[in-house]
Structure 1
Amino acid sequence: MTSPSAHPNLTPQFCFSTVALRDFLRISRSATDDSITQNLNALETPSQSGFDPSSTSVRIPRTSSRSIDPRACQAFKDNVLFPSWQARSDVLTYCAYVATSPDPDDPEVGLREAETEKNRERVVDERLDPYSGRYFPREPRTEMLANLLRQERSVENIVRSRTWGLVRERCGDSFQDAEQALNSWREARERRSS
């Protein structure tokens, strides 16, 4: 069985390193969500009576009524799927907090202030160059992080929806929505830990 995503060391530097942040999300998604079909196939019990060579002479389409043992599905969801989703949610939530907090360590503050001052001193003659009046200041890294997080949350919603659809189909889960299932798992985990 696949193991859940490990929590990275959450620091503002981790969030501002878009390579590290995206790598964590990509690796976590590929280990759990992108390979969900293989993970679910691995939960199916092999033939109890052994291999029958005549079974290969005729192709029998897989029926959708064939489901996986509910205990194996629940164990997969409790030990792999939901912990991976939770780890990614924790990272996205922490980094969203970093993106909305003041950033006194921003290395480009001086550069942005110098560019703004230089723009104020600039003489613009729009008759000679109609585009010379345009000024696009550099975005602070907190704004760039916030934009990245918006994109990654959208991707996360799509990935979870697709994964949950396959889990519901193969495991016969009663929750209609991935977030409902994850919230139920969180509540059950909190009850067990208290």
Structure 2
Amino acid sequence: MSRPSTHPRLTPQFCFNQTALRDFLRISRGTIDDSITQNLNALLTPAHRGFDPSSTSTRQVASPDHGRSLQPEQCEGFKEKVLFPSWAVRSDVLDYCAGVATSPDPDDPDSVLRQIEDSKARERTVDERLDPYSSRYFPREARTESLAMLMRNERAVEKIIRMRTWSLLAERCGMTADSAETAFDKWRVTQRQ
């Protein structure tokens, strides 16, 4: 069985290093959610009856998924020990980095440069008759703004991935009518108690 994602050390530097942040999310999703079919197949036990040579002499007309459903306790174990803990780690990272993105950033190395560029842009003389492009000015965005945009995108990706994983899990395990978020929220409540 796969292992849940490990919790990275949460610091503002981790969040602002968008390569490390994206790599963590990509690896975590790839290990658990993107390979959900393989993870669920790993829960199946080999044939209980052993190999029957006569089974190859006749054509099997049963659907390919016949006998591929999992035992409820296997599904619950996978959800409790692997899936939900991985989702929790990713949720914690996304929540923390979203908080960093909305906080003031006194350590922004580009803040002085942005202030200089802004003051130069205000002092510039614009004559659109001579140069129609002279009024253009595209200020650099602060790294908190860039991080906030990344967090919005990653939350949308996370939502899609969870819905896909949950639908495959429901298909193989015959689970309840709870949505992925509802089931995950219930699990988090039980973990806090």
CA 1:64–1:129: 2 relative to 1, 3 Å? farther
Which residue of the other structure, out of 180, 186, 189, is the alignment partner of 1:187? 189
Deviation at 1:188, TM superposition (A): 1.8
Quote the residue 1:20 is aligned against.
20
Quote the residue 1:161 is aligned against.
163
CA 1:56–1:9: 2 relative to 1, 3 Å? farther
The 1-side partners of 2:132 and 2:112 are apart by 29
Question: Do the aligned residues in 1 keep the contact of 2:44 with 2:68 (CA within 8 Å)?
Answer: no
Deviation at 1:53, TM superposition (A): 2.9
The 2-side partners of 1:61 and 1:39 are apart by 21
Question: Do the aligned residues in 2 keep the contact of 1:5 with 1:87 (CA within 8 Å)?
Answer: yes
Deviation at 1:66, TM superposition (A): 4.8
Q: Does residue 126 in structure 1 map to residue 145 in structure 2?
A: no
Question: Do the aligned residues in 2 keep the contact of 1:4 with 1:81 (CA within 8 Å)?
Answer: yes
The 2-side partners of 1:17 and 1:116 are apart by 25
Deviation at 1:64, TM superposition (A): 6.0
Which residue of the other structure, out of 157, 166, 170, is the alignment partner of 2:172? 170
What is the DSSP-based 3-state SS (H/G/I as helix, E as strand, rest coil) of the residue aligned with 1:2? coil
Structure 1 gap ranges (5+): none
Quote the residue 1:44 is aligned against.
44
The 1-side partners of 2:66 and 2:100 are apart by 45
CA 1:54–1:65: 2 relative to 1, 3 Å? closer
Which residue of the other structure, out of 64, 80, 83, is the alignment partner of 1:81? 83
Give 2:37's aligned amino acid: T
TM-score normalized by structure 1?
0.94
The 1-side partners of 2:50 and 2:68 are apart by 19
Structure 2 gap ranges (5+): none
User: Which deviates more from structure 2 when the two are superposed, residues 59-68 or residues 79-88?
Assistant: 59-68
Give 2:84's aligned amino acid: F
Question: Do the aligned residues in 1 keep the contact of 2:4 with 2:86 (CA within 8 Å)?
Answer: yes
Deviation at 1:107, TM superposition (A): 0.2
The share of aligned pairs that are identical, in percent, is 63
Which residue of the other structure, out of 139, 144, 152, is the alignment partner of 2:154? 152
- Count of paired positions: 191
Deviation at 1:117, TM superposition (A): 1.1
Give 1:94's aligned amino acid: Y
Moved over 3 A (4+): 63-66
Deviation at 1:166, TM superposition (A): 0.4
